Amino acid sequence: MIELNKENFEEEVLKSDLPVLVDLWGPQCGPCLALMPKVEEISRKYEGKVKFCKLNVAENRKLVISLRVMGVPTFLFYKGGKEDGPRLSGAEAVAEKIEEKVRQLAG
């Protein structure tokens, strides 16, 4: 998974040829840490079809604010440089829903 920050967000997400999943997480977020191994497993399954990135909200506050993300875990999905479809956050951010959305992105 690619670690995002304000320097590489545009290149890795907005200019990506592949659809992108952005996992916003925090080091103090229990649900985020619990989901991470499952998301990494999904990333291996869709390697080459969907790019998986993670964004540490504690280290990238301005970027998180600009994305209008209010809590973690939050998953954003991008296709063709634009945010694609509904975000998954809080109780909706479960491995099954994440994989379902990734499958749609992968087409």
Q: How far apart are CA 73 and CA 29, in angstroms?
A: 8
Q: What is the residue whose two structure tokens read 């590489």?
A: 8
The DSSP output letter for 90 is: G
Pairing of strands 82-83, 74-79: antiparallel
Catalytically active residues are 29, 32
Burial (Cβ within 10 Å: 0-12, 13-18, ≥19) of residue 76: buried
Q: What is the residue whose two structure tokens read 């304000």?
A: 6
